[in-house]
Amino acid sequence: MITTNRQHEKFMRMAIRLADQNVLAGKGGPFGAVIVKDGKVVAKSANTVTTTTDPTAHAEVTAIRLACKKLKTYNLSGCVIYTSCEPCPMCLGAIYWAHLDKIYWACTRKDAAENGFSDQFIYDEIARPLTKRTLPVQQLLHQEAQRSFKLWQESDLKIDY
């Protein structure tokens, strides 16, 4: 277990270095993330949105995918994430779903916004009622889709997560 600021700073510098290198190599946005378990790096990644043409390939999400694959689990309890910038709403959701124990970040979302990476519109949209959101939404086949939940509840094959 990591207990000193020096150890935390070491891993944060690693995340920052990933972000720097990503920009200098022209591979993507200025974001890096490192996942650590028991004082050892499990996974690390920079933002690869433009190089992979995947809008979900933020540094944090990519690092989570790599860590889960390496540890052969979807539950990263016992791990912490160091990220060069405060996670966006998507990354924050992924961090919670992955059950990471703690987040350390360097730059704030305000810093990101001042450099062209604002997520404020997503925070604003989430707070709006569905009928007032910018992206139109429409519910279809609600009753029919309920069957999947019933099947899930009755399944002997389900794995709770």
- On whether the CB atoms of residues 79 and 35 are closer than 8 A, the answer is yes
Stated pTM of the model:
0.92
Q: What is the pLDDT of residues 50-74, one digit of tens each?
A: 999 999 999 999 999 999 999 999 9
Catalytic residues: 60
Half-sphere exposure of residue 143: CA atoms within 13 angstroms, side-chain side = 0
Partners of 83 in beta bridges: 33, 105
Q: What is the pLDDT of residues 15-25, one digit of tens each?
A: 999 999 999 99
Q: What is the pLDDT of residues 95-153, one digit of tens each?
A: 999 999 999 999 999 999 999 999 999 999 999 999 999 999 899 999 999 999 999 99
Query: Residue 118 is encoded by which pair of tokens?
Result: 């604002």
The rounded distance, in Å, linking the Cα atoms of 82 and 103 is 6
